[in-house]
Amino acid sequence: MAFLLFNFVLLLSGFRFSLALQETPLQNVSHSGQINSNSVLVALLDSHYTELAELVEKALLLQTLEETVGKRNITIFAPKNEALEQDLDPEFKRFLLEPGNLKSLQTLLLYHIVPKRIEPHSWPKSAADSTHHTTLSNDQVELSGQDSSGAKFIGRAKVINPNAVNRPDGVIHGIEQLLIPRSVQQDFNNRRSLRSISAVKPEGAPEVDPRTHRLKKPAPPVLPGAPPVLPIYDAMAPGPSLAPAPAPGPGGPRHHFNGMRQVKDFIQTLVQYGGYNEMADILVNLTSLATEMGRLVSEGYVLTVLAPNDEAMAKLTTDQLSEPGAPEQIIYYHVIPEYQTEESMYNAVRRFGKVSYDTLRLPHKVVAQEADGSVKFGHGEGSAYLFDPDIYIDGRISVQGIDGVLFPPEDQSKEEKKTIKVATVKPRRGK
Ligand SMILES: *[C@@H]1O[C@H](CO)[C@@H](O)[C@H](O)[C@H]1NC(C)=O
Ligand SMILES: *[C@@H]1O[C@H](CO)[C@@H](O)[C@H](O)[C@H]1NC(C)=O
Ligand SMILES: *[C@@H]1O[C@H](CO)[C@@H](O)[C@H](O)[C@H]1NC(C)=O
Protein backbone atom coordinates (compact mmCIF):
# COMPACT_ATOMS: atom_id res chain seq x y z
CA MET A 1 0.00 0.00 0.00
CA ALA A 2 2.78 2.37 0.90
CA PHE A 3 4.20 1.49 -2.45
CA LEU A 4 0.93 2.40 -4.15
CA LEU A 5 0.87 5.74 -2.36
CA PHE A 6 4.44 6.44 -3.29
CA ASN A 7 3.66 5.62 -6.88
CA PHE A 8 0.74 7.97 -6.79
CA VAL A 9 2.88 10.83 -5.55
CA LEU A 10 5.37 10.08 -8.28
CA LEU A 11 2.64 10.18 -10.87
CA LEU A 12 1.39 13.44 -9.49
CA SER A 13 4.80 15.03 -9.49
CA GLY A 14 4.87 14.10 -13.15
CA PHE A 15 1.88 16.38 -13.62
CA ARG A 16 3.62 19.28 -11.95
CA PHE A 17 6.31 18.85 -14.51
CA SER A 18 3.93 18.79 -17.45
CA LEU A 19 2.06 21.74 -15.99
CA ALA A 20 5.24 23.73 -16.00
CA LEU A 21 5.99 22.65 -19.54
CA GLN A 22 2.58 23.69 -20.71
CA GLU A 23 2.99 27.18 -19.45
CA THR A 24 6.20 28.08 -21.21
CA PRO A 25 5.43 28.52 -24.91
CA LEU A 26 3.50 31.79 -24.74
CA GLN A 27 5.87 33.80 -22.66
CA ASN A 28 8.50 34.76 -25.15
CA VAL A 29 7.95 36.00 -28.65
CA SER A 30 11.50 35.56 -29.77
CA HIS A 31 12.18 31.92 -29.00
CA SER A 32 12.57 30.93 -32.62
CA GLY A 33 14.46 33.20 -34.93
CA GLN A 34 14.48 36.88 -34.13
CA ILE A 35 11.76 39.41 -34.15
CA ASN A 36 12.50 43.06 -34.57
CA SER A 37 11.30 45.35 -31.87
CA ASN A 38 9.83 47.55 -34.61
CA SER A 39 7.84 44.64 -36.03
CA VAL A 40 4.13 45.08 -36.59
CA LEU A 41 3.63 42.11 -34.27
CA VAL A 42 5.39 43.79 -31.39
CA ALA A 43 3.35 46.89 -32.19
CA LEU A 44 0.14 44.87 -32.09
CA LEU A 45 0.92 43.57 -28.61
CA ASP A 46 1.65 47.12 -27.44
CA SER A 47 -1.27 48.71 -29.26
CA HIS A 48 -4.65 49.68 -27.90
CA TYR A 49 -6.11 46.66 -29.71
CA THR A 50 -5.65 44.82 -26.47
CA GLU A 51 -8.54 42.39 -26.94
CA LEU A 52 -7.22 41.21 -30.27
CA ALA A 53 -3.67 41.00 -28.94
CA GLU A 54 -4.83 38.92 -26.02
CA LEU A 55 -6.71 36.52 -28.27
CA VAL A 56 -3.72 36.13 -30.56
CA GLU A 57 -1.64 35.12 -27.55
CA LYS A 58 -4.34 32.82 -26.21
CA ALA A 59 -4.59 31.18 -29.62
CA LEU A 60 -0.84 30.39 -29.55
CA LEU A 61 -0.41 32.15 -32.89
CA LEU A 62 2.57 34.33 -32.10
CA GLN A 63 5.12 31.88 -33.38
CA THR A 64 3.25 31.31 -36.65
CA LEU A 65 2.94 35.04 -37.20
CA GLU A 66 6.53 35.62 -36.27
CA GLU A 67 7.56 33.21 -39.01
CA THR A 68 5.23 34.94 -41.47
CA VAL A 69 6.59 38.44 -40.88
CA GLY A 70 10.07 37.02 -41.26
CA LYS A 71 9.18 36.27 -44.87
CA ARG A 72 6.69 38.89 -45.98
CA ASN A 73 4.72 41.93 -44.96
CA ILE A 74 1.34 41.43 -43.36
CA THR A 75 -1.82 43.50 -43.02
CA ILE A 76 -3.80 43.06 -39.83
CA PHE A 77 -7.43 44.12 -39.72
CA ALA A 78 -7.86 44.80 -36.03
CA PRO A 79 -11.38 44.92 -34.59
CA LYS A 80 -11.77 47.63 -31.97
CA ASN A 81 -11.90 46.33 -28.40
CA GLU A 82 -15.65 46.82 -28.09
CA ALA A 83 -16.17 44.50 -31.05
CA LEU A 84 -14.59 41.71 -29.01
CA GLU A 85 -16.22 42.69 -25.73
CA GLN A 86 -19.76 44.03 -25.37
CA ASP A 87 -20.56 43.82 -29.09
CA LEU A 88 -19.78 40.12 -29.23
CA ASP A 89 -22.39 37.46 -28.46
CA PRO A 90 -21.24 36.12 -25.07
CA GLU A 91 -21.97 32.57 -26.04
CA PHE A 92 -19.89 32.89 -29.18
CA LYS A 93 -17.04 34.31 -27.18
CA ARG A 94 -17.26 31.52 -24.65
CA PHE A 95 -17.21 29.03 -27.51
CA LEU A 96 -14.05 30.61 -28.92
CA LEU A 97 -12.31 30.46 -25.57
CA GLU A 98 -13.00 26.81 -24.92
CA PRO A 99 -9.71 24.97 -25.26
CA GLY A 100 -11.38 22.34 -27.43
CA ASN A 101 -12.17 25.05 -29.97
CA LEU A 102 -8.67 26.39 -30.37
CA LYS A 103 -8.76 25.61 -34.07
CA SER A 104 -11.85 27.80 -34.57
CA LEU A 105 -10.24 30.64 -32.63
CA GLN A 106 -7.10 30.38 -34.73
CA THR A 107 -9.07 30.35 -37.98
CA LEU A 108 -11.07 33.36 -36.86
CA LEU A 109 -7.96 35.35 -36.01
CA LEU A 110 -6.00 34.36 -39.11
CA TYR A 111 -8.99 35.49 -41.15
CA HIS A 112 -8.06 39.03 -40.06
CA ILE A 113 -4.57 38.86 -41.52
CA VAL A 114 -3.53 39.10 -45.18
CA PRO A 115 0.06 38.11 -46.02
CA LYS A 116 0.89 41.31 -47.91
CA ARG A 117 0.97 45.00 -47.33
CA ILE A 118 -2.28 46.78 -48.18
CA GLU A 119 -1.95 50.53 -47.88
CA PRO A 120 -4.95 52.86 -47.63
CA HIS A 121 -4.10 54.52 -50.97
CA SER A 122 -4.41 51.19 -52.79
CA TRP A 123 -7.89 50.55 -51.39
CA PRO A 124 -10.74 50.19 -53.93
CA LYS A 125 -12.61 53.46 -54.34
CA SER A 126 -16.05 51.91 -54.91
CA ALA A 127 -18.04 48.72 -54.59
CA ALA A 128 -17.61 48.14 -58.31
CA ASP A 129 -13.82 47.81 -58.24
CA SER A 130 -13.66 45.69 -55.06
CA THR A 131 -10.67 43.37 -54.68
CA HIS A 132 -10.31 39.92 -53.11
CA HIS A 133 -7.43 38.76 -50.96
CA THR A 134 -6.55 35.42 -49.44
CA THR A 135 -6.06 35.60 -45.69
CA LEU A 136 -3.78 33.47 -43.53
CA SER A 137 -6.82 31.28 -42.79
CA ASN A 138 -7.00 30.56 -46.53
CA ASP A 139 -10.40 32.23 -46.81
CA GLN A 140 -11.03 35.21 -49.06
CA VAL A 141 -11.88 38.69 -47.87
CA GLU A 142 -13.28 41.44 -50.04
CA LEU A 143 -12.08 45.04 -49.90
CA SER A 144 -14.39 47.72 -51.20
CA GLY A 145 -15.09 51.42 -50.92
CA GLN A 146 -17.84 53.95 -51.14
CA ASP A 147 -16.90 56.74 -53.49
CA SER A 148 -19.44 59.25 -52.14
CA SER A 149 -18.10 59.20 -48.58
CA GLY A 150 -14.63 57.80 -49.19
CA ALA A 151 -15.41 55.07 -46.63
CA LYS A 152 -13.39 51.85 -46.80
CA PHE A 153 -14.77 48.39 -46.06
CA ILE A 154 -13.49 44.89 -45.53
CA GLY A 155 -16.42 42.55 -45.96
CA ARG A 156 -19.18 44.34 -44.11
CA ALA A 157 -16.84 45.90 -41.56
CA LYS A 158 -16.00 49.56 -41.90
CA VAL A 159 -12.38 50.60 -41.62
CA ILE A 160 -12.41 53.19 -38.86
CA ASN A 161 -8.72 53.68 -38.30
CA PRO A 162 -6.66 53.12 -41.47
CA ASN A 163 -2.94 52.90 -40.85
CA ALA A 164 -3.43 52.72 -37.11
CA VAL A 165 0.04 51.19 -37.03
CA ASN A 166 2.60 51.22 -39.81
CA ARG A 167 5.84 49.30 -39.46
CA PRO A 168 8.51 48.06 -41.88
CA ASP A 169 6.99 44.56 -41.98
CA GLY A 170 3.32 45.36 -41.88
CA VAL A 171 0.39 47.59 -41.20
CA ILE A 172 -2.66 47.52 -38.92
CA HIS A 173 -6.02 48.95 -39.92
CA GLY A 174 -8.63 49.37 -37.20
CA ILE A 175 -12.06 48.03 -38.13
CA GLU A 176 -15.49 48.41 -36.59
CA GLN A 177 -16.49 44.78 -36.15
CA LEU A 178 -15.22 41.24 -35.98
CA LEU A 179 -15.00 39.26 -39.24
CA ILE A 180 -16.37 35.75 -38.89
CA PRO A 181 -15.42 33.17 -41.53
CA ARG A 182 -18.18 30.77 -42.52
CA SER A 183 -16.36 27.68 -41.24
CA VAL A 184 -16.14 29.12 -37.72
CA GLN A 185 -19.78 30.13 -37.79
CA GLN A 186 -20.59 26.53 -38.71
CA ASP A 187 -18.43 25.11 -35.92
CA PHE A 188 -20.29 27.36 -33.52
CA ASN A 189 -23.69 26.28 -34.83
CA ASN A 190 -22.73 22.61 -34.48
CA ARG A 191 -21.28 22.87 -30.98
CA ARG A 192 -24.07 21.14 -29.01
CA SER A 193 -24.22 18.04 -31.12
CA LEU A 194 -20.44 17.59 -30.90
CA ARG A 195 -20.58 17.79 -27.14
CA SER A 196 -23.32 15.22 -26.76
CA ILE A 197 -21.44 12.76 -28.93
CA SER A 198 -18.31 12.96 -26.80
CA ALA A 199 -20.17 12.52 -23.50
CA VAL A 200 -19.81 9.13 -21.85
CA LYS A 201 -23.09 7.57 -20.85
CA PRO A 202 -22.93 6.06 -17.37
CA GLU A 203 -25.12 3.07 -16.59
CA GLY A 204 -26.00 0.54 -13.90
CA ALA A 205 -26.11 0.86 -10.11
CA PRO A 206 -24.01 -0.61 -7.30
CA GLU A 207 -25.39 -3.30 -4.99
CA VAL A 208 -24.83 -3.28 -1.24
CA ASP A 209 -24.67 -6.24 1.05
CA PRO A 210 -27.19 -5.23 3.75
CA ARG A 211 -25.31 -7.07 6.51
CA THR A 212 -21.84 -5.77 5.93
CA HIS A 213 -22.83 -2.43 4.48
CA ARG A 214 -20.20 -3.03 1.87
CA LEU A 215 -20.60 -3.25 -1.85
CA LYS A 216 -21.36 -6.82 -2.95
CA LYS A 217 -19.19 -6.68 -5.99
CA PRO A 218 -17.39 -4.05 -7.93
CA ALA A 219 -20.06 -1.46 -8.58
CA PRO A 220 -20.91 -0.71 -12.16
CA PRO A 221 -21.05 2.97 -12.92
CA VAL A 222 -24.13 4.60 -11.38
CA LEU A 223 -26.79 6.60 -13.13
CA PRO A 224 -26.36 10.31 -12.98
CA GLY A 225 -28.43 11.67 -10.13
CA ALA A 226 -28.54 8.32 -8.30
CA PRO A 227 -28.06 8.64 -4.56
CA PRO A 228 -24.87 7.20 -3.05
CA VAL A 229 -25.22 3.68 -1.79
CA LEU A 230 -24.14 4.33 1.80
CA PRO A 231 -23.67 7.61 3.57
CA ILE A 232 -20.23 8.58 2.37
CA TYR A 233 -19.45 10.02 5.78
CA ASP A 234 -19.31 6.46 7.12
CA ALA A 235 -16.38 5.93 4.86
CA MET A 236 -14.59 9.23 5.24
CA ALA A 237 -11.70 9.68 7.55
CA PRO A 238 -13.00 11.81 10.47
CA GLY A 239 -12.68 15.48 9.99
CA PRO A 240 -12.79 15.53 6.98
CA SER A 241 -9.27 14.27 7.10
CA LEU A 242 -6.64 16.92 6.81
CA ALA A 243 -3.78 14.54 7.40
CA PRO A 244 -2.49 11.97 4.98
CA ALA A 245 -4.76 8.96 5.04
CA PRO A 246 -3.18 6.09 6.97
CA ALA A 247 -2.11 3.24 4.80
CA PRO A 248 -4.57 0.38 5.39
CA GLY A 249 -3.01 -2.52 7.24
CA PRO A 250 -3.23 -6.20 6.29
CA GLY A 251 -6.86 -7.17 5.84
CA GLY A 252 -7.81 -3.54 5.38
CA PRO A 253 -10.52 -2.47 2.97
CA ARG A 254 -10.70 -4.42 -0.22
CA HIS A 255 -10.17 -2.16 -3.14
CA HIS A 256 -12.66 -2.83 -5.84
CA PHE A 257 -11.44 -0.17 -8.19
CA ASN A 258 -8.33 1.71 -8.69
CA GLY A 259 -9.75 4.96 -7.35
CA MET A 260 -6.30 6.53 -7.30
CA ARG A 261 -6.04 5.98 -10.97
CA GLN A 262 -9.41 7.66 -11.54
CA VAL A 263 -8.47 10.63 -9.41
CA LYS A 264 -5.19 10.88 -11.26
CA ASP A 265 -7.07 10.68 -14.57
CA PHE A 266 -9.40 13.47 -13.68
CA ILE A 267 -6.59 15.72 -12.49
CA GLN A 268 -4.81 15.07 -15.75
CA THR A 269 -8.01 15.79 -17.66
CA LEU A 270 -8.37 19.09 -15.80
CA VAL A 271 -4.84 20.04 -16.78
CA GLN A 272 -5.38 19.13 -20.41
CA TYR A 273 -8.73 20.86 -20.51
CA GLY A 274 -7.04 24.12 -19.63
CA GLY A 275 -8.16 26.94 -17.37
CA TYR A 276 -8.20 24.75 -14.25
CA ASN A 277 -4.53 24.68 -13.34
CA GLU A 278 -5.06 26.19 -9.89
CA MET A 279 -7.51 23.49 -8.93
CA ALA A 280 -5.27 20.79 -10.38
CA ASP A 281 -2.35 22.32 -8.51
CA ILE A 282 -4.13 22.17 -5.18
CA LEU A 283 -5.06 18.55 -5.74
CA VAL A 284 -1.51 17.73 -6.73
CA ASN A 285 0.01 19.61 -3.79
CA LEU A 286 -2.41 18.38 -1.16
CA THR A 287 -1.79 14.71 -1.68
CA SER A 288 -3.86 13.86 1.42
CA LEU A 289 -6.92 15.28 -0.29
CA ALA A 290 -6.40 13.45 -3.55
CA THR A 291 -5.54 10.29 -1.62
CA GLU A 292 -8.75 10.51 0.37
CA MET A 293 -10.79 11.00 -2.79
CA GLY A 294 -9.04 8.08 -4.44
CA ARG A 295 -9.70 5.89 -1.43
CA LEU A 296 -13.42 6.75 -1.41
CA VAL A 297 -13.73 5.97 -5.08
CA SER A 298 -11.82 2.73 -4.58
CA GLU A 299 -14.44 1.73 -2.05
CA GLY A 300 -17.23 2.33 -4.49
CA TYR A 301 -18.32 5.86 -3.59
CA VAL A 302 -19.05 8.39 -6.26
CA LEU A 303 -18.11 12.05 -6.33
CA THR A 304 -19.01 15.16 -8.23
CA VAL A 305 -16.35 17.84 -8.10
CA LEU A 306 -17.35 21.43 -8.77
CA ALA A 307 -14.05 22.78 -10.02
CA PRO A 308 -13.62 26.57 -9.88
CA ASN A 309 -11.73 27.83 -12.90
CA ASP A 310 -8.46 29.73 -12.68
CA GLU A 311 -10.08 33.15 -12.90
CA ALA A 312 -12.24 32.29 -9.91
CA MET A 313 -9.33 30.87 -7.93
CA ALA A 314 -7.26 33.95 -8.68
CA LYS A 315 -9.78 36.00 -6.70
CA LEU A 316 -9.05 34.09 -3.51
CA THR A 317 -6.97 36.14 -1.14
CA THR A 318 -3.87 34.78 0.52
CA ASP A 319 -5.80 35.12 3.81
CA GLN A 320 -8.40 32.74 2.56
CA LEU A 321 -5.80 30.21 1.50
CA SER A 322 -3.21 30.52 4.22
CA GLU A 323 -5.25 29.49 7.27
CA PRO A 324 -4.30 25.96 8.20
CA GLY A 325 -6.56 23.53 6.42
CA ALA A 326 -8.25 26.28 4.44
CA PRO A 327 -7.61 24.93 0.94
CA GLU A 328 -8.87 21.53 2.05
CA GLN A 329 -12.02 23.05 3.53
CA ILE A 330 -12.64 25.02 0.35
CA ILE A 331 -12.21 21.97 -1.85
CA TYR A 332 -14.35 19.74 0.39
CA TYR A 333 -17.17 22.23 0.03
CA HIS A 334 -16.89 21.70 -3.72
CA VAL A 335 -17.21 17.92 -3.61
CA ILE A 336 -20.69 16.40 -3.71
CA PRO A 337 -20.95 12.74 -2.63
CA GLU A 338 -23.19 11.91 -5.59
CA TYR A 339 -22.62 11.25 -9.23
CA GLN A 340 -24.14 14.12 -11.16
CA THR A 341 -23.69 15.24 -14.71
CA GLU A 342 -24.55 18.62 -16.14
CA GLU A 343 -27.66 17.06 -17.61
CA SER A 344 -28.84 15.49 -14.35
CA MET A 345 -28.26 18.67 -12.37
CA TYR A 346 -29.87 20.84 -15.00
CA ASN A 347 -32.90 18.56 -15.12
CA ALA A 348 -33.14 18.59 -11.32
CA VAL A 349 -33.06 22.36 -10.98
CA ARG A 350 -35.49 22.71 -13.86
CA ARG A 351 -37.86 20.34 -12.19
CA PHE A 352 -37.49 21.40 -8.56
CA GLY A 353 -36.42 25.00 -8.69
CA LYS A 354 -33.86 24.78 -5.92
CA VAL A 355 -31.87 21.67 -5.17
CA SER A 356 -29.49 21.32 -2.27
CA TYR A 357 -26.57 18.95 -2.45
CA ASP A 358 -24.57 17.52 0.40
CA THR A 359 -20.89 18.30 0.37
CA LEU A 360 -17.93 16.59 1.97
CA ARG A 361 -17.67 19.64 4.21
CA LEU A 362 -20.16 18.55 6.83
CA PRO A 363 -22.79 19.71 7.54
CA HIS A 364 -22.77 22.29 4.80
CA LYS A 365 -24.84 21.91 1.70
CA VAL A 366 -24.60 23.74 -1.57
CA VAL A 367 -27.77 25.02 -3.18
CA ALA A 368 -28.32 24.98 -6.92
CA GLN A 369 -30.99 26.59 -9.04
CA GLU A 370 -31.76 27.23 -12.65
CA ALA A 371 -30.56 30.59 -13.92
CA ASP A 372 -29.93 31.94 -17.39
CA GLY A 373 -30.45 28.53 -18.91
CA SER A 374 -27.72 27.02 -16.77
CA VAL A 375 -27.18 25.73 -13.24
CA LYS A 376 -26.22 28.33 -10.65
CA PHE A 377 -24.70 27.29 -7.33
CA GLY A 378 -24.77 29.29 -4.11
CA HIS A 379 -26.50 32.57 -3.36
CA GLY A 380 -26.14 36.18 -4.40
CA GLU A 381 -22.61 37.48 -4.61
CA GLY A 382 -20.99 34.17 -3.77
CA SER A 383 -22.66 32.26 -6.58
CA ALA A 384 -21.13 30.44 -9.50
CA TYR A 385 -22.43 29.19 -12.80
CA LEU A 386 -21.84 25.76 -14.21
CA PHE A 387 -19.48 26.99 -16.86
CA ASP A 388 -17.72 24.00 -18.41
CA PRO A 389 -20.04 21.00 -18.26
CA ASP A 390 -18.82 17.41 -17.93
CA ILE A 391 -15.10 18.09 -18.08
CA TYR A 392 -14.62 14.58 -16.77
CA ILE A 393 -17.29 11.92 -16.33
CA ASP A 394 -16.39 8.28 -15.90
CA GLY A 395 -19.40 6.96 -14.05
CA ARG A 396 -17.91 7.47 -10.60
CA ILE A 397 -16.19 10.82 -10.67
CA SER A 398 -17.77 13.76 -12.40
CA VAL A 399 -16.02 17.10 -12.75
CA GLN A 400 -18.01 20.20 -13.57
CA GLY A 401 -16.26 23.52 -14.19
CA ILE A 402 -17.73 26.53 -12.37
CA ASP A 403 -16.86 30.21 -12.58
CA GLY A 404 -16.73 31.08 -8.91
CA VAL A 405 -15.45 29.78 -5.59
CA LEU A 406 -18.30 28.75 -3.28
CA PHE A 407 -18.53 29.29 0.46
CA PRO A 408 -21.12 27.95 2.90
CA PRO A 409 -23.82 30.57 3.60
CA GLU A 410 -22.53 31.15 7.16
CA ASP A 411 -19.16 32.15 5.80
CA GLN A 412 -20.64 34.40 3.23
CA SER A 413 -21.09 37.65 5.15
CA LYS A 414 -17.43 37.27 6.07
CA GLU A 415 -16.47 36.63 2.48
CA GLU A 416 -18.74 39.17 0.87
CA LYS A 417 -16.18 41.91 0.48
CA LYS A 418 -13.74 39.50 -1.07
CA THR A 419 -16.22 38.81 -3.81
CA ILE A 420 -15.65 35.53 -5.49
CA LYS A 421 -17.89 35.91 -8.49
CA VAL A 422 -16.12 36.32 -11.78
CA ALA A 423 -18.79 35.50 -14.34
CA THR A 424 -18.60 38.01 -17.11
CA VAL A 425 -20.04 35.62 -19.61
CA LYS A 426 -23.22 33.87 -18.63
CA PRO A 427 -23.42 30.39 -20.07
CA ARG A 428 -26.63 29.60 -21.79
CA ARG A 429 -27.91 26.22 -22.55
CA GLY A 430 -28.63 25.83 -26.22
CA LYS A 431 -31.78 23.73 -26.13
C1 LIG B 1 13.41 34.49 -25.14
O2 LIG B 1 13.82 33.13 -25.07
C3 LIG B 1 15.17 32.94 -25.44
C4 LIG B 1 15.44 31.45 -25.45
O5 LIG B 1 14.81 30.80 -24.40
C6 LIG B 1 16.08 33.71 -24.47
O7 LIG B 1 17.42 33.53 -24.81
C8 LIG B 1 15.71 35.17 -24.54
O9 LIG B 1 16.46 35.91 -23.62
C10 LIG B 1 14.23 35.38 -24.26
N11 LIG B 1 13.89 36.78 -24.53
C12 LIG B 1 13.11 37.49 -23.74
C13 LIG B 1 12.83 38.89 -24.17
O14 LIG B 1 12.65 37.03 -22.71
C1 LIG C 1 7.87 44.85 -46.49
O2 LIG C 1 7.50 46.01 -47.21
C3 LIG C 1 8.53 46.97 -47.31
C4 LIG C 1 7.96 48.21 -47.94
O5 LIG C 1 7.15 47.87 -49.05
C6 LIG C 1 9.70 46.37 -48.10
O7 LIG C 1 10.77 47.29 -48.20
C8 LIG C 1 10.19 45.15 -47.36
O9 LIG C 1 11.21 44.49 -48.09
C10 LIG C 1 9.05 44.16 -47.13
N11 LIG C 1 9.52 43.08 -46.27
C12 LIG C 1 9.43 41.82 -46.61
C13 LIG C 1 9.97 40.84 -45.62
O14 LIG C 1 8.95 41.43 -47.66
C1 LIG D 1 1.84 24.03 -5.11
O2 LIG D 1 3.21 23.86 -4.83
C3 LIG D 1 4.04 24.68 -5.60
C4 LIG D 1 5.49 24.31 -5.30
O5 LIG D 1 5.66 23.81 -4.02
C6 LIG D 1 3.76 26.15 -5.25
O7 LIG D 1 4.57 27.00 -6.01
C8 LIG D 1 2.30 26.43 -5.59
O9 LIG D 1 1.97 27.75 -5.23
C10 LIG D 1 1.40 25.46 -4.87
N11 LIG D 1 0.05 25.68 -5.34
C12 LIG D 1 -0.99 25.74 -4.55
C13 LIG D 1 -2.26 26.05 -5.20
O14 LIG D 1 -0.92 25.58 -3.36
**2-23 and 259-273 helices, crossing angle to 10°:** 0
Atom of ligand 3 nearest to the CA of 284: 1
What was the pLDDT predicted at 398? 93
Average pLDDT over residues 112-118: 96
Query: Residue 163: which pLDDT band, with cuts at 50, 70 and 90?
Result: very high
**Can you tell me whether residue 351 is helix, strand or coil?**
helix
What was the pLDDT predicted at 235? 62
Q: What is the Cα–Cα distance from 361 to 121, expressed in whole angstroms?
A: 67
What was the pLDDT predicted at 403? 95
Q: Chain centroid to CA 394: how far? A: 19
What was the pLDDT predicted at 256? 52
Residue 157 or residue 216, greater confidence: 157
Range of the structural domain that residue 303 is part of: 195-417
What is the model's pTM? 0.43
> In sequence order, what DSSP letters do the residues of 1-14 get, joined into one string?
-HHHHHHHHHHHHH
Q: Is residue 358 part of a domain?
A: yes
Q: Would you say residue 304 has pLDDT above 80? A: yes
> Would the CB of 358 count as within 6 Å of ligand 3?
no
Residues 215 and 172 in one domain: no
Terminal-to-terminal C-alpha distance of the chain:
47
> Would the CB of 282 count as within 6 Å of ligand 3?
yes
Residues 131 and 244 in one domain: no
Domain end residue (candidates: 158, 189, 220):
189
Q: Would you say residue 301 has pLDDT above 50? A: yes
Mean pLDDT of the chain, nearest integer: 77
Q: Is residue 137 part of a domain?
A: yes
**Can you tell me whether residue 247 is helix, strand or coil?**
coil
Q: Which of 21, 31, 37, 41 to mutate to test the pocket of ligand 1 (most atoms within 8 A of CB)?
A: 31
The residue ranges of DSSP E strands in 298-378, in sequence order, are 303-308, 335-336, 354-358, 365-371, 374-377
What was the pLDDT predicted at 339? 87
Report the percent of the chain where pLDDT is more than 70: 71
Lowest mean pLDDT among 40-54, 96-110, 152-166, 346-360: 346-360
Domain end residue (candidates: 126, 156, 189):
189
Residues 243 and 327 in one domain: yes
Residue type, position 3, single letter: F
What was the pLDDT predicted at 349? 81
Residues 185 and 200 in one domain: no
Q: Is residue 61 part of a domain?
A: yes
Number of other residues whose CB lies within 10 A of the CB of residue 333: 21
Residues 212 and 327 in one domain: yes
* CB 401 within 8 Å of CB 275: yes
Residues 298 and 328 in one domain: yes
* Number of domains the chain is built from: 2
Atom of ligand 2 nearest to the CA of 69: 13
Q: Is residue 430 part of a domain?
A: no
Q: What is the Cα–Cα distance from 179 to 154, expressed in whole angstroms?
A: 9
What is the radius of gyration, based on Cα positions, of the chain?
26
Q: What is the Cα–Cα distance from 359 to 361, expressed in whole angstroms?
A: 5
Residues 37 and 128 in one domain: yes
Q: Which tens digit of pLDDT belongs to each residue from 258-292?
A: 788 888 889 999 999 999 999 998 888 887 888 88
What was the pLDDT predicted at 234? 61
Q: Which tens digit of pLDDT belongs to each residue from 330-363?
A: 999 999 988 888 988 887 787 667 788 889 988 8
Atom of ligand 1 nearest to the CA of 27: 14
Residues 129 and 248 in one domain: no
Residues 314 and 240 in one domain: yes
Q: What CATH number does residue 84 fall under?
A: 2.30.180.10
Domain end residue (candidates: 189, 208, 229):
189
